[in-house]
Amino acid sequence: MGTKTAIIKFPGTTCEVDVYKALLEASVDAEIVKFKDFDPDKYKAVVLPGGFSFGDYLRAGSIAASTETMKKVKQMADEGKVVIGICNGFQILVESGLLEGALLPNLNLRFISKWVYLKVGRKDTVLTKGLEKDIIKMPIAHAEGRYYHTDPERAKRLAVLYYTSQDGTVDEKYNPNGSLFNIASVANEEGNVIGMMPHPERASFKLTSPDGATDGLLLFRGLRKW
């Protein structure tokens, strides 16, 4: 098994370099790989970055989800290896069936770009295990990020991050897109596959973060411990 983390680039992916730099800052050995060149045997983990894979035609992430590459990613997930989807990457994971639920257009039908506070609901996932903070701060930037699940109680069990106030109050007024129960991130039961709408790579450097927020690094460092 390889020791590196693969950052998979589909046509239309835009955040692969930011993720790469953030992973290096977190001391995670990573490299960017074109989707057709991806060999799962070379890697211990995969990150699917944000962007607009294949132009987000049909639905966000749906075409990328149907590629041979994602069949290989699913094989890795089944073997217990780490798979992380950020924004469009989260949409790909849902479309491919690696994560439960659906990501619908934002309730206001507009693209939303803003910094949000997030409450950690699970600490048994690759990115949150051992995380000392309960409230973290990261930006979102999406048009289709409204999480939905046909089984609300199951959605609660899968939820990793919730949109919240600065003091951790989970309320509809802090819900930017209409997500079920303010859910911003979910994982599988095992915790090795996780998707999130917020962008941790954009909260990994003091220079580019308001108030010097670097909570994204705290999540990425989880890759070193899993």
Does 131 score more than 80 pLDDT?
yes
Model confidence pLDDT, tens digit, residues 58-82: 899 999 999 999 999 999 999 999 9
CB 142 within 8 A of CB 176: no
Residue 51 CB burial class (10 angstroms; 0-12, 13-18, ≥19): buried
pLDDT computed for residue 19 by the predictor: 99
Cα separation, 89 vs 85, whole angstroms: 4
Does 90 score more than 80 pLDDT?
yes
Task: Count Cβ atoms below 10 Å from residue 169 Cβ, excluding itself.
Answer: 11
Residues 6 or more apart in contact with residue 26 via CB below 8 angstroms: 204, 217, 220, 221, 223, 224
pLDDT computed for residue 3 by the predictor: 78
Over range 166-181, report the average pLDDT.
97
Is 201 an annotated catalytic residue?
A: yes
Amino acid at 43: Y
The residue from 87, 95, 142, 144 that is catalytic is 87
Tokens of 15: 């955040």
Q: Please name each of the domains of the chain with its CATH number.
A: 4-224 (3.40.50.880)
Residue 225 pLDDT class (50, 70, 90 cuts): confident
Residue 2 pLDDT class (50, 70, 90 cuts): low
Does 1 score more than 60 pLDDT?
no
Q: What is the DSSP letter of 213?
A: -
Torsion region of 150: left, alpha or beta (phi above 0 gives left; psi -120 to 50 gives alpha) = alpha
The residue from 15, 100, 149, 199 that is catalytic is 199
Residues 6 or more apart in contact with residue 180 via CB below 8 angstroms: 146, 147, 148, 149, 152, 155
Cα separation, 82 vs 203, whole angstroms: 21
Instruction: Name the pairing type of β-strands 30-34 and 135-142.
Output: unpaired
The residue from 16, 100, 144, 201 that is catalytic is 201
Over range 104-112, report the average pLDDT.
97
Cα separation, 22 vs 38, whole angstroms: 21
